[in-house]
Amino acid sequence: MASLQHSQAIKGAKVLMVGAGGIGCELLKTLALSDFQDIHIIDMDTIEVSNLNRQFLFRQSHVGQSKAKVARDAVLRFRPHINITPYHANAKDSNFNVDFFKQFNVVLNGLDNLDARRHVNRLCLAAEVPLVESGTTGFLGQVTVHVKGKTECYECQPKPAPKTYPVCTITSTPSKFVHCVVWAKDLLFAKLFGDKNQDNDLNVRSNDAARSSEHAGDAFEWSGNEDLEQYGRGIYDHVFGYNIELALSNEETWKNRNKPRPIYCRDVLPDRMTQQNGNVDRTDDLSSASAMASLGLKNPQDIWCLMENTKVFLEALKLFFTNRRKEIGNLSFDKDDQLAVEFVTAAANIRAASFNIPLHSLFEAKGIAGNIVHAVATTNAIVAGLIVIEAIKVLKKDTESYRMTYCLEHPSKKMLLMPVEPFEPNKSCCVCSKTPLSLEINTHRSKLRDFVEKIVKAKLGMNSPLIMHATALLYEVGDDLEENEIANYTANLEKVLSELPPPVTDGTVLTVEDLQQEFTCNIHIKHREEFDEEKEPDGMVLSGWTQAPPEKKDGKTSIGNGASTSRSLPTKVGITEIDIEVKEISDGIVSPGTKRKLSEFSDGSTVDQSSDVDETRNNKKTQKHDDDDDLVMLDHWDGNMSKKRRSP
Amino acid sequence: MNGEELTEQETALYDRQIRVWGADAQRRLSKSHILVYGMKGTIAEFCKNIVLAGVGSLTLVDDRAVSEEALSANFLIPPDESVCSGKTLAELCCDSLREFNPMVRVSVEKGDLASLGAEFFDKFDVVVISCCSLATKKLINEKCRKLSKRVSFYAVDCRDCCGEIFVDLQKYNYAKKKTDGATECELQYPSFQEAISVPWRSLPRKVSKLYFAMRVIERFEEAEGRKPGEICIDDLPAVLKLKKELCEAQSVNESHVPDTLLERLVMGAKEFPPVCAIIGGTLGQEVIKAISSKGDPVKNFFFFDATDGKGMIEDISNPNLES
């Protein structure tokens, strides 16, 4: 094989990097060292302190500056003569259109969210530019190659949906700490500090809805001259005391559950806090930005007792109203907002205490609330190296040697880095194979707005959609719309499907298109009356974008199109349980390979270290032979097959 | 909680990695002392990783002057000012590394590695060497083994698209994570000398070819009195001849060491940056594991070849050594 190192293809290549974060910094450095001369890099983010442990191109003094620009300057210090073009912008901006993508020989992703990955995937498909995609979580990582028509696209396998919880688990029956965090963040924090016009489930779910919201109206509004501690105690008693009493009155709920106990502020903290920490004189930034600092709590890894949580709750609330009153009404939870994290931690812990759930430290609560992805420099460095190797193969059009590679925490078949042949495009993929989808929906009850939000944006990942019923336009987003068009579309959004002009009913085919992504999709509408509130919370079910049926190809290098979530990249939210079926093909003899289970946790919970590699069984069946070019292959993934294999 | 707690500054900076390996491992890291020798691309990658991870101190030894070759895969050295500055490789890398993390003490020790005494090595918990001759690898490994305390030893090399890590943790105890808690495990490592003396015939046939190829190159450079990496395509016939002799002496088929692989290693003495990143990253992870006594460490070789993309662990221990 011609050396990868001295490839002419590298010097002439123009590459686009999307993301200048953990993987991005490593990637830009490795590309520059490997003799790439023309690199463009997009990142909308600015530098934060928690980036510095791995994003080595950045320093403390760069905090707040554009990642793309600082990364460029840092790399030019050791490779002054190459061209790096930074864009401090969102990759989804309309100027990064298909024509923009077409100028590149290869696109390299170092992203941290599903949305942007899908967007870039579509643009690469439309521009016919190869994409090398990557992701890491802790010690786990993967690199995949997506070349239109040759390998599967990023969306050929349905991606696991972000983890959601049934509403009543959050509002009434939490059983895990994460439920309390979601409650504290999405309900309580949003109710107190967020947009007052937003729907909020904080009260409406209790048995006596009318009574409780009436009561709530009093408790949550601050009159403006009321003593802030008094106000805080009022909210405290309302959400941790009164609301729990109310919930307890519904005997049915607690038949098979442990009953929560109401907690009232006076029982935990009989005396007023009245500056007991002597911080009257302290007007430094720290104690006004942090309840912990003002209360003298130091270690974010400590678990506070109920009294400490109560103090933090009251103090944080007070600080919001005294120092950040202007922001109230527009705040949304941000993991980098210390005071917000403190408030949410305290509120989640008090609720946890009420439901007899173990309390957690601020450090842990922050990880859960912020969906913080575990990240270390080493995995990012390894993944960046693998990306460059694949990029060089792509530039050399060395199709046969493309690989997707997994970085494992525990070796499988003695491998820490496991290459696998890429999969063929999924023929039922609605993105790269244009397969139509079908949608079950109540056409008499669901509004066009529900369809746009829950399907077109959330499920199909479109930014600026256009919806057509035959030749009639139902909805469109764009800068160049006439006023009457905008009025028309806005009116349409509030109409139920069956009352749209023309009506959308059972059997209608809608065409949904994103002009920027050059992605079109046909959706067959099927009317359905009822949906299960817990299992189908969207009130609609999209299908058709499924795993391809197992289908064998000829020859040694055959691999399935079968779906396995293993190929999903760690997404920012949600837990991805991934199963890799590893098979070894030796002289045509297929041995039941190693079954390895990986868990990718990206939501702040601990990484599951379990590994059930059955080495002995594997060794026994492995044939010895001289050809060591054996490939590790992913099998067709099929629930039944894998069950059979599991029990020998 | 034992020992000092992490400071607020440390918790903020190391937030994302504490979520991976825990506060206890972070505390151990911050008290560890690392020595590296051979400031080329792979070691530069490793140093970056370990400084970012937040070790207590990192000491660099490499008195060589900057050369074109030393710059090729090393992002720690700005090319313009470096050549005429009169500074050694270690001094130049030290300046850059300090900037990566002000909480880590990065320093340079002058002198010839081989002549440094036991009291020098005794200061470290981890010793990592690269670009060393066969004799130096053996010598440093033995020095580490003779110390009263346990020092983790690593020897690493990258050539062309290939990389090798040798690991000697001596007698090593660690916590192996299971689904329900952790269990204590003990591993016994052979020395470098012992590991490379394992009869080739006794190894499984599927063992990485790279293991044999690296031994041939190592022996060739030793026999010819070359510096590590001082080899080129003109040497190929002599290398192939040596390979034949070694295979005969070890009574194994010559196909154990493919000529094409040797050719690549002879031609590409220069490091390939993506492989430096992969080997330097893997080595970083292994050192973090060893310091924190957490997670299964590599025993005792790791090989990577970009042409097949596999990152393999091979256990090459003398069977008589089994305890």
A259: CB partners within 8 A, 6+ apart: A248
CA atoms within 13 A on the CB side of A101: 28
Of A306 and A220, the structure prediction assigns the larger pLDDT to A306
B99 touches chain A (CB under 8 A): yes
B282 touches chain A (CB under 8 A): yes
Helices (DSSP H) in A249-331: which residue ranges? 265-268, 285-289, 291-295, 306-323
Residue A330 CA to residue A187 CA, distance in Å, equals 14
B278 touches chain A (CB under 8 A): yes
Q: Please report whether residue A476 resides in a domain.
A: yes
Residue B323 CA to residue B314 CA, distance in Å, equals 18
Range of the domain at A518: 437-543
Are both A186 and A226 inside the same structural domain? yes
Give the CATH number for residue A453. 3.10.290.20
Q: How many CB atoms lie within 10 A of CB B112?
A: 9
Residue B243 CA to residue A380 CA, distance in Å, equals 37
Are both A442 and A416 inside the same structural domain? no
Q: How many CB atoms lie within 10 A of CB A252?
A: 7
Residues of A in contact with B255 (CB under 8 A): 626
| Largest Cα–Cα separation, chain B | 62
Q: How confident is the model over A237-258, as a mean pLDDT?
A: 88
Cis status, amide bond into A502, omega within 30 of 0 = yes
Are both A90 and A147 inside the same structural domain? yes
Q: Is the four-CA dihedral A486, A489, A493, A494 of positive or negative sign?
A: positive
Helices (DSSP H) in A483-524: which residue ranges? 483-493
Q: What is the DSSP code string of A31-80?
A: HHHTT--EEEEE---B--GGGTTT-TT--GGGTTSBHHHHHHHHHHHHST
Contact between A53 and B15 using a beta-carbon 8 Å cutoff: yes
A599 pLDDT band, cuts 50/70/90, is: very low
Residues of B in contact with A419 (CB under 8 A): 308-310
Residue A488 CA to residue A484 CA, distance in Å, equals 6
Helix (H, G, I), strand (E, B) or coil at A198: coil
Residue A34 CA to residue A37 CA, distance in Å, equals 9
Q: How confident is the model over A52-64, as a mean pLDDT?
A: 90
Q: Look at residue B269 in the predicted model and tell me its pLDDT.
A: 67
Residue type present at position A366: K
Q: Look at residue A117 in the predicted model and tell me its pLDDT.
A: 93
Residues of B in contact with A56 (CB under 8 A): 48, 52, 100
Are both A349 and A300 inside the same structural domain? yes
A637 pLDDT band, cuts 50/70/90, is: very low
Q: Look at residue A5 in the predicted model and tell me its pLDDT.
A: 61
Beta strands A38-42; A83-87: pairing state: parallel
- Domain segments of chain B as ranges: 8-194+271-309, 198-267
Q: What is the DSSP code string of A317-359?
A: HHHHHHH-GGGTTT----TT-HHHHHHHHHHHHHHHHHTT---
Residue A357 CA to residue A182 CA, distance in Å, equals 14
Q: Look at residue A581 in the predicted model and tell me its pLDDT.
A: 32
Of A338 and B68, the structure prediction assigns the larger pLDDT to A338
B121: CB partners within 8 A, 6+ apart: B35, B127, B140, B143, B144, B147, B151
Q: What is the pLDDT of residues A394-440, one digit of tens each?
A: 999 999 999 999 999 888 889 999 999 999 998 888 888 888 888 99
Cis status, amide bond into A225, omega within 30 of 0 = no
Nearest of A606, A608, A607, A610 to residue A595 by alpha carbon:
A610
Are both A341 and A471 inside the same structural domain? no
Residues of B in contact with A72 (CB under 8 A): none
Distance from CA of A410 to the nearest CA of B (A): 7
SS3 content of chain B, % helix, strand, coil (to 5): 45, 20, 35
Tell me the CA distances in angstroms from A343 to A289, A315, A316, A366, A412, one per residue in order. Answer: 12, 9, 6, 11, 43
Distance from CA of B111 to the nearest CA of A (A): 27
Whether A144 and A174 have beta carbons less than 8 Å apart is answered as: no
Nearest of A394, A390, A473, A460 to residue A429 by alpha carbon:
A460
Residue type present at position A42: I
Of A344 and A562, the structure prediction assigns the larger pLDDT to A344
Give the CATH number for residue A329. 1.10.10.520
Are both A262 and A299 inside the same structural domain? yes
Q: Please report whether residue A559 resides in a domain.
A: no
Beta strands A575-586; A589-591: pairing state: antiparallel
Contact between B53 and A377 using a beta-carbon 8 Å cutoff: yes
Could you tell me which chain B residue has the CA closest to the CA of A416? B311
B197 touches chain A (CB under 8 A): no
Contact between A403 and B8 using a beta-carbon 8 Å cutoff: no
Looking at every residue in chain A, the average pLDDT score rounds to 78
Q: What would you report as the CA-atom Rg of chain B, rounded to the nearest whole angstrom?
A: 20
Q: Please report whether residue A462 resides in a domain.
A: yes
Whether A559 and A421 have beta carbons less than 8 Å apart is answered as: yes
Residue type present at position A48: E
> What architecture (CATH level 2) is domain B8-194+271-309?
3-Layer(aba) Sandwich (3.40)
Please, is B60 exposed, middle or buried when counting C-beta atoms within 10 Å of its C-beta (0-12, 13-18, 19+)?
Answer: buried
* Residues of A designated catalytic: 168
Could you tell me which chain B residue has the CA closest to the CA of A2? B264
Distance from CA of A385 to the nearest CA of B (A): 4
Q: Look at residue B291 in the predicted model and tell me its pLDDT.
A: 94
Residues A563-579 as b or e (16 or more Cβ within 10 Å = b): bbbbbbbbbbbbbbebb
ipTM of the complex: 0.95
Are both A52 and A127 inside the same structural domain? yes
Give the CATH number for residue A114. 3.40.50.720
Residues of B in contact with A376 (CB under 8 A): 16-17, 20-21, 53, 285
Residues of A in contact with B23 (CB under 8 A): 301
Q: What are A38's strand-pairing partners?
A: A14, A83
The domain boundary residue, chosen from A543, A575, A601: A543
Q: How far apart are the first and last CA of chain A?
A: 40
The domain boundary residue, chosen from A308, A329, A356: A356
Q: What is the pLDDT of residues A512-526, one digit of tens each?
A: 999 888 899 999 999
Contact between B17 and A374 using a beta-carbon 8 Å cutoff: yes
Q: What is the pLDDT of residues A193-228, one digit of tens each?
A: 987 766 666 654 444 444 444 444 556 777 777 788
Lateral strand order in the sheet of A540-543:
A472-476, A465-469, A509-514, A519-527, A437-441, A540-543
Whether B196 and B190 have beta carbons less than 8 Å apart is answered as: no
Q: How confident is the model over A623-643, as a mean pLDDT?
A: 35
Contact between B11 and A1 using a beta-carbon 8 Å cutoff: no
Choose among A79, A378, A403: nearest Cβ to B49.
A378
Q: Look at residue A204 in the predicted model and tell me its pLDDT.
A: 41
Q: Please report whether residue A221 resides in a domain.
A: yes
Residue A191 CA to residue A286 CA, distance in Å, equals 26
Choose among B23, B209, B281: nearest Cβ to A301.
B23
Residue A630 CA to residue A584 CA, distance in Å, equals 7
Q: Look at residue A162 in the predicted model and tell me its pLDDT.
A: 62
Nearest of A324, A326, A362 to residue A346 by alpha carbon:
A362
Q: What is the DSSP code string of B134-153?
A: HHHHHHHHHHHHHSSS--EE
Q: Please report whether residue A594 resides in a domain.
A: no
Are both A252 and A335 inside the same structural domain? yes
Nearest of A268, A275, A269, A322 to residue A294 by alpha carbon:
A275
Q: Containing H/E element for B289?
A: helix B273-292
B79 touches chain A (CB under 8 A): yes
Q: How confident is the model over A83-87, as a mean pLDDT?
A: 97
B313 touches chain A (CB under 8 A): yes
Choose among B79, B161, B282: nearest Cβ to A4.
B161
Distance from CA of A644 to the nearest CA of B (A): 23
Residue A352 CA to residue A360 CA, distance in Å, equals 9
CA angle A531–A534–A539, rounded 5-degree value: 35
A23 pLDDT band, cuts 50/70/90, is: very high
Of B1 and B233, the structure prediction assigns the larger pLDDT to B233
B281 touches chain A (CB under 8 A): yes
Number of domains in chain A: 3
